[in-house]
Amino acid sequence: MTANVLEINGLKKHFGEKNVLQGVDLIVPEKKVFGFVGRNGAGKTTTMKIILGLLAADEGTVNVCGKKVHYGNTKTNRFIGYLPDVPEYYSFMTPAEYLRLCGEISGMDEGEIKSRSDKMLELVGLSQEKRRIKGFSRGMKQRLGIAQALLGRPKLLICDEPTSALDPMGRKEILDVLVAAKKETTIIFSTHILSDVEHICDEMALLEGGKVVMQGTIEEVKQRRRSAATELRLEHETDTKALMKAFAELKKLPSGDILLDDPAKLPEIMRYIADNRMDIVKIEKQEATLEDIFLEVIQNNSK
Amino acid sequence: MKAFLRKEWMENLRTGRLLILGIIFFIFGLMNPAIAKLTPWLMENMKDSITDTGIEFGEVTISAMTSWTQFYKNTPMCVIVIVLMLGGIFVNEYQKGTLVQVVTKGLSRRKIFFSKMVNVYGLWTLMYLVYFGVTYGYTVYFWPEDKVESILFGAFCYWLFGMILLAFLLLFSAIADNVGQVLLGVGAVVAAMFFLNYVPKLQKYLLLRLTEGLNLSLGSLDAEDFVPAVIISCISVVICSIMGMALFDKRDL
């Protein structure tokens, strides 16, 4: 049986007049890369800070590995590795010195700190780096962030938008490291870059309007899309015009193709084409991308 | 906590904070006997121009007392330097977000506050020892026969004055978001002390009494006159530290 690393129930949080979280429910099973998706300001970072005990929730409970999270000095942090969106370190230290500090704070013994530090620096490609952190690029800091987060063999690795500030090369490096880390730990990967989610995540949840509005495996989420678009092209321009006139919901794309958003209308349209002996050149069902789903959910919620 | 204390010490060394403070306090310490020693020469050089204005002055007597008078004049500068140098000890970490990493690794906020407190009080004590030691050493060297009363107790009182300002600095650091707010808070405490000092009945209880070590050496005040202010200061240091720790426990990082 798969245990749940993280369970969130009815989480609420407001800042002044703004209700950022309005009853978030979330379950993250073990050994998965879990995408936590939402637009900027949706409450992803707030949720993560509550999981880490850095912010107090107004209502609701958070359990990490079966233990309740408390604001302030929560003991559940021993299960968690955390990578903030823009990690900052003590710039006067070298990466090895910083990992040593992290290891000592976590209560690891001397030998384990040495062996894990070497292994983690090797994993993120910083083992040869003897310079102080002061001169590091953003990508290097991000990789060091993953090394420190994984140092204590956490059961849960929380990454808050780790790729959003990086160039394509830096992004690829981070995603590769996270894929490698997947063997050891459960990863919550917060982002608004949906291609990254499709690339590495097993499951995802979409946070919108202070609630989780969609959760499941990537395939399940894609299948749940209410409107699957269909593209078709007719041989003659006159037929295209006649079809568009007969069905107002059809849209003409710049390529000349016709787009149908509502699949329920398809049989009726096909009948019309057959009855009028129109020639079809192409008919194609468009597979929904996460981006389409994301936009659709946001549009539906803002109506 | 040992690891975080070591990090604080490493920061003092590698950011040059220790070196800068060491140089400044050494120079201030050296200036006290040096200015005393140079006073006759300065007066001699200025004699003609001063005499032209109609002011007459007699023989200038220089002694160890001149050096210690200078010590009490320069100590406020030392206090200002240490407050300015350590004003960002917490808020710089809030602004960068470096404490988030440490807290999420499991180090308790109380241990962080305590480590910072040990570092702040330790730096002040070390630098004050350098400052006092240099002045003491050169004063004894230049005027070996001169004896000045109550130097140690007077110097202790000024050290305690520095401690209480740093305790307020730590307290304001627990709630402030930037260095300006911390310095404003400490400045407000000093301003309040000066304001209250106008009430004669309050003077012996106020922390400003701790800066009057020179009067102790001159004999115009006794050690007993300092006791209430010393006791109040010690209690204030403890209260500020406990309050700072409690507020730091609850602040958003």
Q: Could you give the CA distance from residue A134 to residue B9 in angstroms, rounded to a whole number?
A: 18
- Weakly modelled stretches of chain B, pLDDT under 50: none
Q: Are residues A187 and A242 in the same domain?
A: no
Q: Which of A223, A242, A270 is the last residue of a domain?
A: A223
Q: Is residue A292 part of a domain?
A: no
Q: Are residues A248 and A173 in the same domain?
A: no
Predicted pLDDT of residue B58? 67
Give the CATH number, domain containing residue A38.
3.40.50.300
Determine the residue among A71, A105, A108, A148 to mutate to test chain B binding: the one whose Cβ has the most chain B Cβ atoms within 10 Å. A105
Of residues B185 and A72, more confidently modeled = B185
**Count of domains observed in chain A:** 2
Q: Could you give the CA distance from residue A189 to residue B98 in angstroms, rounded to a whole number?
A: 21
Q: What value of ipTM does the predicted structure carry?
A: 0.84
**CA–CA min distance A216, chain B (Å):** 28
pLDDT per residue as tens digits for the range A156-172: 999 888 887 777 887 88
Q: Are residues A264 and A204 in the same domain?
A: no
**Prediction pTM value:** 0.80
Q: Are residues A151 and A23 in the same domain?
A: yes
Closest CA to B77 of B31, B37, B111, B44: B31
Q: Are residues A283 and A136 in the same domain?
A: no
Contacts of A90 in chain B (CB under 8 A): 7, 10-11, 98
Closest CA to A196 of A215, A170, A220: A170
Q: Is residue A264 part of a domain?
A: yes
Q: Are residues A248 and A203 in the same domain?
A: no
Question: Side by side, which strands form the sheet with A230-234?
Answer: A251-252, A258-260, A230-234, A280-285
pLDDT per residue as tens digits for the range A192-224: 888 888 888 888 998 888 888 888 888 888 776
Q: Is residue A47 part of a domain?
A: yes
Q: Are residues A251 and A142 in the same domain?
A: no
Alpha helix ranges (H) inside A182-289: 194-200, 218-223, 237-246, 266-275
Q: Lowest mean pLDDT: which of A15-24, A239-248, B174-183, B197-206?
A: B197-206
DSSP state of A132: -
Predicted pLDDT of residue B101? 87
Residue A257 structure tokens:
């193709």
Determine the residue among B15, B104, B111 to mutate to test chain A binding: the one whose Cβ has the most chain A Cβ atoms within 10 Å. B104
Q: Are residues A218 and A234 in the same domain?
A: no
pLDDT per residue as tens digits for the range B133-176: 999 999 999 988 888 888 899 999 999 999 999 999 999 999 99
Cα–Cα distances (Å) from A51 to A68, A153, A157, A189, in that order, read 10, 18, 11, 14
pLDDT per residue as tens digits for the range A280-296: 998 887 776 777 777 77
Any A CB within 8 A of B56 CB: no
* pLDDT at position A38 over 60: yes
Beta strand A203-208 pairing with A211-217: antiparallel
Q: Are residues A191 and A74 in the same domain?
A: yes
Residue A36's domain spans which residues?
4-223
Q: Is residue A303 part of a domain?
A: no
Q: Are residues A234 and A219 in the same domain?
A: no
- For chains A and B, CB pairs below 8 A equal 70
Q: Is residue A254 part of a domain?
A: yes
